[in-house]
Amino acid sequence: MAEGACDGAPAPASSNGSLCGFESLEQLLQARLPPEELAQVQRLLYGWNAGRPVQALPLPLAAAAAAEAAKFDLQAYRFEAAPEQLRPPRLVRIGLIQHGIVAPTTAPFAEQRQAIFDRVRTLVDAAVAAGVQVLCLQEFWACPYFFCTRERGWCEFAESAEEGPSTRLCQELARRHNMVIVSPILERDEAHGGTIWNTAVVVGNNGNVIGKHRKNHVTRCGGFNESMYYMESDTGHPVFETSFGKIAVNICYGRHIPLNCLTFALNGAEVVFNPCCTLGGWAFESLWPIEARYAAAANSYYMCAINRVGTEAFPNAFTSGDGGPAHKELGPYFGSSYVAAPDGSRCPSLSRDRDGLLVAELDLNLCRQAEDRFNFRMCGRHDMYAELLARYVRPDFRPQVVRDPSLPAAPGSTA
């Protein structure tokens, strides 16, 4: 850590993704605040679960040894629910994996993908040692985030959601370890002319493909030129009933859209995974600690935010639509994956600049308990929202604005 790196004027995150030389905001706060003050800051930033801060979850020594040997961040936490008289605890252990690319983007595509496969296998082995039952990988985990380049040759990374190499690997791992795996990939739909999609494949613990969901909201800002490659989803808001609970996948940009978060709840999701590729230095970085926590509390489910790490350099320079000069790098991605609970609490985040595995034990009973406590669903005026939305999508929609009659006439008004 670079002590004193943040003295004086505020500074942006370091070029490697660290925060003033610290791996995470949590480390920075722990280094600078006395324990009593730190406890109050954490209470406000992260909330309390079951009347106290989210508790650390002890893990087997084998998991910690794997993390130390492979040099990745490993953290584990427990989210509790109140004891009930008529329902036993419904515990599920989930895992979130964040990582950077391994081989340079100038390497052959097959070599790049295999290097990531090998790295992810190592992280999955640690997840197995930690007892993970449902594992989610980051958005486009098997390739670099090349959409910034607008070059078509990278489309070779697209694959079948049902039979592609990423799916086959996840099927092998899921079957061997009795684990559900969410695998966000770049899909090529051969049945429909080779159309490309941003897709999350849900592989069951028997190695079967339960189903898939395609990204509902496509990013169109800065270097995120995704609509050059694929468009919005045609799969709705599916919830997948697995051996370990009802899960959904809200891919990346969809976390910014409250109605998108709501619809997964309406379909009964208990755990929603949010695999992302999000850069530091944007407004999105300051939204990152807030959005998953808000979505979880507002919708009475667990929300799991997963980001990648590192800076990715490409062979040819590209522009990012921000008026800046052409460049070859995109990054750094700031990691910081975390889990938020329906009671408004959240755990500390993974490292900003290292690969990592976050393990969380969730009591799914907390979903109903939070809804019973806050009554958000009961208080929802879904009929009123539906009526407004039905009018809003019509070309003759007029906003419901009540204007003060004492105001001067608006320009162009015939009144």
CA dihedral angle for residue 116, residue 117, residue 121, residue 122, rounded to 10 degrees: -30
E strands, 139-250, are: 180-189, 195-203, 209-214, 220-221, 224-225, 240-242, 245-249
- Please name which of 135, 340, 346, 170 lies closest in space to residue 242, comparing C-alpha atoms: 135
Retrieve residue 352's tokens.
Answer: 């900003």
The Cα 118–Cα 100 span in angstroms is: 12
Radius of gyration, alpha carbons of the chain = 22
pLDDT tens readout for residues 370-394? 999 999 988 999 999 999 999 999 9
- Per-residue confidence at 61, pLDDT binned at 50, 70, 90? very high
Q: What is the mean pLDDT of residues 176-203?
A: 97
Retrieve residue 21's tokens.
Answer: 């030389």
The Cα 79–Cα 172 span in angstroms is: 29
pLDDT value for 14: 56
pLDDT value for 2: 31
Catalytic residue among 215, 246, 312, 361: 215
Q: What is the mean pLDDT of residues 125-148?
A: 97
Catalytic residue among 143, 252, 347, 367: 252
Catalytic residue among 23, 80, 139, 187: 139
pLDDT value for 360: 98
148 as an active site residue: the answer is no
360 near 347, Cβ under 8 Å?
yes
At residue 107, what is the residue type? A
Domains recognised in the chain with CATH numbers = 48-377 (3.60.110.10)
DSSP letters spanning 41-73:
HHHHHH--BTTBPPEE----HHHHHHHHHHT-E
pLDDT > 70? residue 54: yes
Q: In this structure, is the dihedral angle defined by the CA atoms of residues 73, 74, 80 and 86, taken in order, positive or negative?
A: positive
High-pLDDT (> 90) share of the chain, %: 88
- Per-residue confidence at 3, pLDDT binned at 50, 70, 90? very low
190 as an active site residue: the answer is no
pLDDT > 50? residue 5: no
361 as an active site residue: the answer is no
Give the SS3 label for residue 292. Answer: helix
pLDDT value for 284: 86
